[in-house]
Structure 1
Amino acid sequence: MPYADELTARARALVSRGGPRRVLGIAGPPGAGKSTLAEAVVRAVGADAALVPMDGFHLADTELRRLGRADRKGAPDTFDAYGYGALLARLRAPGHGETVYAPSFERELEQPLAGALPVAPGVPLIVTEGNYLLLDEEPWSTAVRPHLDEVWWVAVDDTVRVERLIARHVEFGKTPDGARAWVERSDEANARRVAPGRARADLVVDIGTGRLSPPAAPA
Structure 2
Amino acid sequence: MTRRETAHRFGELLARAQQFAGAGGRRILGIAGPPGAGKSTIAASLTEALGPARAVHVPMDGFHLADVELRRLGLLDRKGAPETFDAHGYAALLRRLRSQGDETVYAPAFDRELEQPVAGSLPVWPDVPLVVTEGNYLLLDEPEWRPVRAMLDTCWWVGPAEGVRLRRLVDRHVRYGKSRAEAESWVHRSDEANARRIAPCRDAADLVVELGPGEPVPGTENDTGA
Q: Same fold (TM over 0.5)?
A: yes
- Which residue in 1 is equivalent to 2:178? 174
Mean Cα displacement is larger for which, 201-210 or 175-184? Answer: 201-210
Asked if the contact 1:31/1:161 (under 8 Å) is kept, the reply is yes
Residues 2, 210 of structure 1: 8 Å contact kept: no
Deviation at 1:17, TM superposition (A): 2.3
Q: Aligned-pair RMSD on alpha carbons?
A: 1.6
Query: In the comparison of the two structures, how many residue pairs are matched?
Result: 208
Listed as ranges, the gaps of 5+ residues in structure 2 are 1-6, 216-226
Q: Using the alignment, how far apart are the partners of 1:59 and 1:76 within structure 2?
A: 10
Q: Does residue 125 of structure 1 match 2:134?
A: no
Q: Give the Cα separation in 2 of the matches to 1:148 and 1:5.
A: 21
Q: Which has the higher contact order (CA 8 A, sep 6+)?
A: 2
Matched letter for residue 78 of structure 1:
T
Distance in 2, Cα, partners of 1:6 & 1:160: 22
Q: State whether structure 2 residue 60 is matched by structure 1 residue 54.
A: yes
Deviation at 1:196, TM superposition (A): 0.8
2:114 is aligned to 109
| Matching residue of 2:100 | 94
Percent of counterpart pairs with the same letter? 64
CA distance in 2, matches of 1:205, 1:157: 11
Structure 2: how far apart are the matches of 1:2 and 1:86? 33
Give yes or no for contact 1:157–1:208 (8 Å, CA) kept in 2: no
1:25 to 26, 30, 33: 30
| 8 Å Cα contact 1:54/1:128 also seen in 2 | yes
Q: The residue matched to 1:144 in structure 2 has which SS?
A: helix
The Cα shift of 1:209 comes to: 5.7
Write the letter of the residue equivalent to 1:111: Q
Runs of 4 or more consecutive aligned structure 1 residues displaced over 6 Å after TM superposition: none
* TM-score scaled by length of structure 2: 0.89
User: Aligned AA for 1:182?
Assistant: W
Asked if the contact 1:54/1:129 (under 8 Å) is kept, the reply is: yes
Superposition map of 1:1-219 within 5 A: 3-18=9-24, 20-46=25-51, 47-96=53-102, 98-141=103-146, 143-208=147-212
TM-score between both structures, scaled by the size of structure 1: 0.91
Q: Report the Cα offset of residue 95 of structure 1.
A: 2.5
C-alpha contact (below 8 Å) 2:10/2:211 kept by paired residues: no
